[in-house]
Each structure stands twice: as structure tokens, then as C-alpha cells.
Chain A
Amino acid sequence: GEDVEQSLFLSVREGDSSVINCTYTDSSSTYLYWYKQEPGAGLQLLTYIFSNMDMKQDQRLTVLLNKKDKHLSLRIADTQTGDSAIYFCAESDASGGSYIPTFGRGTSLIVHP
């Protein structure tokens, strides 16, 4: 089956930029997503990028997509302690009419003062 890989932990200092990386195997991916999970809660969509885009920026968030290398990254500028959470990369292939996403294992972002 399709696979999504991401590192498990990232630690940054408050005010620095965070970069979370993800690789995927599905060459037919239509959408790629970043979800955020606060402790003990469900996931919320942070941002997504369509597969024919290279970059998407939304306030402090920048998503970069390298389709050739099947690599996705999420950059958070001026990281704050409130950004501490688990970040999940996910991809979906809509070619068959279904959008069921495949999730990575999640990257725990720890922001320290």
C-alpha cells in the first residue's frame, strides 16, 4: 500500500523557524495535507496543497512540494510555545473518486523557551 514517512520528533527554540519534512510513495497523490493534533484531542487541518502546486503560503505557514522527489515540508515561522503539538502529513489520491487519506506517523514538535 501507499506509505507516508516523517520523523517522530523535532525540538526548536521559541522564535526560531520549524521545518517538518515528509516523504510519500503514491505518485498519483492529488492532495497533500498537514494536520495538527493538540494533546488529547482530534486532528485539525492546518493547510493543504494541490499536487500541481510547488508552494503555498498562509501567514506563518509555508508548504513546499517537490513532486519529483515526493517530498513535502511544512515551515512554521516564528515558532511559539502554542505550536507545540503533533503534526501529521497525509496524502490522498482522488483519481478513483475516493479521498481516503494515508497518514504519516506524526512529528511531535516541542517548542522550548
Chain B
Amino acid sequence: DGGITQSPKYLFRKEGQNVTLSCEQNLNHDAMYWYRQDPGQGLRLIYYSQIVNDFQKGDIAEGYSVSREKKESFPLTVTSAQKNPTAFYLCASSDGRGNANTGELFFGEGSRLTVL
């Protein structure tokens, strides 16, 4: 089945450690996104990539890094510079091509990161 897979679903990290969240899609979508979700704050865009080997900062990129070496993969690294990393992280993808494009995002199931 086609979809987006995020792993791990739950992750615990000590302060000062970097951690990488995986996001893989087999939908052949060009664009991929990382959002952070905090209670009552909705979704905030961290980084996005509209094509392989290119990515752009979103609204809250500080303390995060990404790479887009393959079309299917868009990993997110939460670095020790991120001051408040405990959150629910959502990866999404969309197909940016064609007149039929409605901009629909397809989301993974999310990764919950807790910093101890």
C-alpha cells in the first residue's frame, strides 16, 4: 500500500543529544514537509522540500536540520540547539504536479519525542 511511514513512533532523548526522525514515502510525491505539533498550537512548519536535493526553512527551523538526498526520504534531525524539543512531529508529502493538484497533504502517523 502507498503511504508515508514515520519512525520511531515514540522516542526519548536526554538533553544535549541529537536525534533523527525518519520519514519515507512511496507515493512518488515531489514535495515533503515536516511539522511540529504542540497542544493548542496547531501545526507549525519546520522545513519543506519541493524537489530532491533542495529544501527550505519553514517558520520554526532553528535547532533542526534536514536532508533530501532521495525522493522517498526526508529525515529530520532535532539538534541539541533546539531549546524545547518535546513535541509531536508530523511528516507529510504532496504531489506538486499537474492541473489536478489540489495541494492535499498526505501525513504520516507522527513521532512523539520526549526529552528527559
Contacts and interface: CB of A to CB of B under 8 A. Distances in A.
A binds B: yes
Nearest to A4: B42
**A interface, by DSSP: helix, strand, loop or mixed?**
loop
B90 A43 contact: yes
Interface string B86-114: 00001010101000011111011110100
Contact of A41 (B42, B59, B109): B109
Contact size range, A: 20 to 34
A24 interface: no
B43 interface: yes
Contact of A104 (B6, B31, B33, B42): B42
Interface string A37-80: 00011111100100000000000000000000000000000000
A98 B94 CA distance: 11
A94 B103 contact: yes
B109 A88 contact: no
Nearest to A48: B102
18 contacts: A1-B59, A30-B103, A31-B103, A33-B103, A35-B105, A40-B109, A40-B110, A41-B110, A42-B90, A42-B108, A43-B43, A43-B90, A43-B92, A43-B105, A98-B50, A100-B33, A103-B43, A105-B40
Interface of A: 1, 8, 30-31, 33, 35, 40-45, 48, 88, 92, 94, 98-101, 103-106
